[in-house]
Amino acid sequence: MTHGAMRLAALATALMAAPAQADRTEAPLSVLKAKGIITEQEYQALLKEVDAEVARRAAASADDRLVRRTESGVGVVVGDVTLKLSGSVNAFFVHDNAEEPGPGTAVVGGLASVGENTAAVRNGLLPGFFRIDVTTTQGGWDVGAHVGFYPGINSVDYVGGANSAGNPQALGTAGIDARQTFLTVARQGLGELKLGRDIGLFASEAILNDMTLLGVGTPAGNVAPSNTTLGRIGLGYIYTDFQPQITYTTPKFAGLRASVGIFQPLRTVGRPGEQKGSPGLQGKITWDFGAAEGLSGRLWLSGITQKHGDSAPNLDDDYRGSAFDVGARLGVAGASLVGYYYRGSGVGTTGLFIFPVDAAGNRRDSSGYYLQGFYTLGKLFLGASYGRSSLDLADGEVNPLLVRFNASWAGQVRYGLTSWVSLVAEYVRTRARAHGGNEAKSDALAIGSILFF
C-alpha cells in the first residue's frame, strides 16, 4: 500500500469512528482539501465512504427498531404489526354441602346441589385462557385477528364438546374451548366491524360485571367438575354465550357507544329437529360517564330476538324468543354498586333457549335480577351479591317439577398478592324452587387463586 493510500485509509477510519453523519464530516474534509492536505480525488473518495457508512448505520438502526416490546402488556411490535399475548390461570378448592335427597327436593332445572356432600379441586367461573391478538394499520384501516383458547384443569368426557360433563378418572384429559376466533376492521370515525366467534351482546355486561367471574359462585356438578362453575349464571342473568356473529360497533360519542349484530341462530335445547331457523339479532348500548365528586360508572341496555321454526314436519309450534336487559355500575372512591334486570319471553333460563317453551311450543316468560356491592381497600376486595332468575309456566301448562326460580347469596374476599395474582375466598348459598313447591338448598365454600397476565 502506498503512503498516500495508507494516509487516506487512516483518515477514513478516524472519520468513521465518530458519529457517521454526512453534514458533520463534509465541512472538515473541505478544510483539509482547501489546505492541500488531501486532493480532490481523495476528497471525493472519502465522501463516498462516509455516505456509505451513514447508510449502513441507518439500516442497522432501523433493524434494531424492527422488533420492540409493546408499551404495555406482554407483546412485541414487529415492523407495523403488534402481537399481544394475554391469559389467565385459576384453581380452587370447593366444598359443596348439598341438600339431602328426598321426595320434596326434585327441581327440573334447579341449580342447588342435591345428593352427597362433595369436595373438588377445579376451575371457577372462568376456565384458564390464552389469547393472541395480532393488529396492524393498513391503508388507514385498523385490522386485527383474535384467537382465544380456554383450557380447563379438570378431565371431561368430551360427549357434546370441550365443556362436557366432568370425568375425574385416571388417564383423562381436560377440555380446550376455542371460544374466540374473530377478525376486526375499524377506521377512525367509522367504528368497528367484527366477524367471527366472540361473546354475545345480550347479557354480556351482566357477566362481565359479576364479581364471581373471578371466583366460583354456585358450583354445579362438583362431584365431577367440568371446565367451569356457574358463578351467577341462571341465578340473576342468562348466559350470554360465545356465538358466531357479524357485529358493528359505533365510535364512542360523549361516552355513548352502540353495537348491533346478526348471529348464528341457536336451536332450542331439547328440540334438535327445528326447521327454518332464522338468524338472531342482538344489540347493545352503553354509556360511560364520570361526574363530580369522583362518581363514575356505566349504564347499559341490550336485547335479543330470534325466530325458531317448527320442531317437526307438519307441526305448527314455531315461536319467537325475545328479551331485553338494563343495568348500571356506579363507583365512587373504593366503593361500587351494580344493579341488573332482564325480562324475556321464549328465551328460557340459565342459558339461551333452555326451557323457553312447553311441549306445544307455547312460550314461557322469564325474568331475573341481581344486586351487588363491593369495596376495595388497597389490595383487599370485599363483595356481596344476591340474584334470582325466574321462569313462568306457559298459558295452561301444568308442570309441577319445572323450576320456578333459582337464587343465591354470594360473599367474596379477594386479596391482590401481586399485580398478576389474587387470592380468593367465597361463600355461596343457592336455592332452587319448583312450581309445585319442591325446594332444594345448598352451601358452598371455595378458596383458591386466579392469575392474569
> According to CATH, what is the number of the domain 87-147+178-452?
2.40.160.10
Q: What is residue 194's predicted lDDT score, i.e. its pLDDT?
A: 98
The 10s digit of each residue's pLDDT in 311-355 is 877 677 899 999 999 999 999 989 999 999 999 999 999 999 999
* Confidence bin at 31 (pLDDT 50/70/90): low
Q: What is the pLDDT of residue 193?
A: 98
| Residue 201: φ, ψ to 5° | -90, -50
Domain ranges (residues) in the chain: 3-67, 87-147+178-452
pLDDT at 29: 58
Residues 6 or more apart whose Cβ sits within 8 Å of residue 342 = 203, 206, 237, 238, 323, 324, 325, 326, 366, 367, 368, 369
The stretch 345-368 carries a mean pLDDT of 96
Rounded to an integer, the average pLDDT of 299-322 is 90
121: pLDDT strictly greater than 60: yes
Whole-angstrom Cα Rg for the chain: 31
CB 175, CB 167: distance < 8 Å: no
Q: Give pTM, 2 decimals.
A: 0.83
Burial status of residue 253 (CB atoms within 10 A of its CB: 0-12, 13-18, 19 or more): exposed
Provide the CB-side half-sphere exposure for 23 (13 A, CA): 0
- How many percent of the chain have pLDDT more than 90? 73
